[in-house]
Amino acid sequence: MALWLLLAALAALALGQRLLWPHLWADLGFAARAARCRRRAGSGGPGTLAARFLRRAREAPGRPFLRAAGGAEPYGRAARRVARVANALRGRPLNGGDGGELGPGVTVGLLVGNEPRFVWGWLGLAALGARPAFLGTALRPAALRHCLRSCGARGLLVADDLFGSVEPILPSLQEDGIVVWVLGSGPYPPGVVALQELLDAASEELEPEDVWQPEDMNDTCLYIFTSGTTGLPKAARVSHLKSIMCLGFYELVGASSRDVVYLALPLYHMAGSLLGIVGCIGIGATCVLKEKFSASQFWDDCRAEGVTVFQYIGELCRYLVNQPLRPGEREHGLRLAVGSGLRPDVWRSFLQRFGTIRIVETYGMTEGNVTLFNYTGTPGAVGRSSFIYKLFSPFEIVRYDVTEGAPVRDAAGRCIRVGTGETGLLIAPVTPRTPFLGYAGSRELSEQKLLRGVFTEGDTYFSTGDLMEQDAAQFVRFRDRTGDTYRWKGENVATTEVAEALVAHESLQEATVYGVTVPGHEGRAGMAALVLRPGCRLDGPALYRHVEQLLPPYARPRFLRLQERLAMTETFKQQKVRLAQEGFDPARVPDPLFLLDEPTQAYVPLGPALWRDVLDGRRRI
């Protein structure tokens, strides 16, 4: 009798757990993996990323590391490539020899595309204690100079095929005391150092124990640029500890050394470099590194390379589901897709079309101190908010006033946690365990991301600037971005930078830029409300050429709206919320509308027929 009672009690407990906490075992399993990764990150031995990479190469020199257009690079040979860069650059003079030499603490811009030389340059500089600053390959000369200045760069390491984007600002760089090293043979203008001969002559010897070690793992080890509401890119500080923690990324989501990872994300972003490359190093996996993503070639590449893991942004998955049906689409070995920004409708279409693939949606920011993982495969969620998860990645969601652009506070001046199903601002406590390093340059840049006195006197929280919702099942869902920044084609777009570029055109007097939702597309497409100068008209081809020269492709406004004057609030702030809500529907917008038309290289009038083509997907934007 007692046995039957015990079995009945256990069955009742199991049923109760399944009803009240259906994801308990998933929560516990993820927590166990997270704890294991933390222990491993803090284990003995050389601590920096470069040292850990060299140690991995020493353990498994013949294991494939990178496969790219130029061929395969095993871990052992990759380590020798890194050693050559470090030894060729060690002690190189700065600023003509008057500014010391390259070594610990010196910041060096890294301008290399999606190829193995990016990794060699990054880890080679890191081995010397230098701080690489990852530069976007689409940056225009003025923005490039701004980035180098903002992080205090003393040098620039650039690939030979990208030197053309640097050459126009060489005099300015020399004025700033920045020495330029080119991964090539030259010849190059005076003052520019061709590195190929030095690399060929450099030693291939570099042991993990010889790598420079920081005194504090929370010191800055590199910079990654992220666009913000201040306009031009900001240099986010990344610590040695954060880079080491990224070694556990793929282990956290269930990958292993047997996996082959497909990576086509830009290496100058955190997702491509710290999660993609470093994540592969952490488990000793193979990375198939692509210069660009090709939706039409993707499944052929997966079959040819034996790909088992795909690192995505949502837009890439949308490209795949929008491809014409092809025979054999389900004949692949892909078992895991991990990334961010995947819309629920694309998520479901992706699985229905391409078969059983485990999807792990994540959320995080380069400069942020909070990460979220949806490790249960629930479509549309970016993470979990169970108390178990918050033990190692604490965060809160608080009420937010979109009109005022600030959290709602009670009579005592404290923030208010949202209820179930309510949208609010995602914030995370700034503590020694979850630090916020901020940005290079003005302290004000970092201070703008902090909230103080949130729940108690003296506390400090990092504001992500993202609006989230927590549902009854403890899933967190992304709802919107606050402020001026929106996301398009996997890139953050700062509206002030776009507006400044627009008003630089002689015909434009004012501009306000915002993002609008377009059916069938991730993120928001750029739209600008414009006021013409008196006596001027909108010249579609001329304005197209103007934005093409000043802005990278993802930042160019897809839609324009001509107004007699810009709407302002009582405090003289531009009313972007209403403009974004009205969108680009000619039936709702009383002003003339225009569409960026790449085939004709012009902004063309947007009427009802063209608007319908955009909504139905017949007109690409």
Q: What is the mean pLDDT of each run of 10 residues along the chain (621 residues)?
A: 49 49 83 81 73 95 95 96 96 78 95 98 97 93 92 96 94 94 92 93 90 92 77 88 94 95 96 97 97 94 97 89 87 96 87 95 93 93 90 93 84 96 94 93 89 96 92 89 76 78 88 89 91 91 94 94 75 67 91 94 94 88 83
In the chain, CATH 2.30.38.10 sits at 394-434+443-481
CB 454 within 8 A of CB 427: yes
In the chain, CATH 3.30.300.30 sits at 485-616
Pick the CATH number of 394-434+443-481 from 1.10.10.10, 2.30.38.10, 1.10.15.40, 1.20.120.450: 2.30.38.10
pLDDT of residue 44: 52
Task: Kindly provide the residue ranges of all beta strands, DSSP E only, lying in 117-217, ordered along the sequence.
Answer: 131-134, 155-159, 179-183, 192-194
One-letter identity of residue 529? A
pLDDT of residue 219: 94
Pick the CATH number of 485-616 from 1.20.120.790, 1.20.1250.20, 3.30.300.30, 2.120.10.30: 3.30.300.30
Alpha carbons 28 and 34: distance in angstroms, whole number: 10
pLDDT of residue 231: 58
pLDDT of residue 7: 45
Alpha carbons 264 and 115: distance in angstroms, whole number: 10
Is 3.20.20.70 the CATH classification of the domain at 41-292? no
pLDDT of residue 6: 47
pLDDT of residue 10: 42
pLDDT of residue 46: 55
pLDDT of residue 9: 47
Alpha carbons 382 and 601: distance in angstroms, whole number: 38
Alpha carbons 459 and 305: distance in angstroms, whole number: 50
Alpha carbons 248 and 268: distance in angstroms, whole number: 20
Q: How far is CA 219 from the centre of its chain?
A: 21
CB 432 within 8 A of CB 463: no
In the chain, CATH 3.40.50.12780 sits at 41-292
Beta strands 460-470 and 475-481, pairing class: antiparallel
The reply to whether the predicted model has a pTM over 0.85 is: no
Measure Cα distances from 14 to 3, 24, 28, 386, 516 in Å: 16, 11, 15, 19, 47
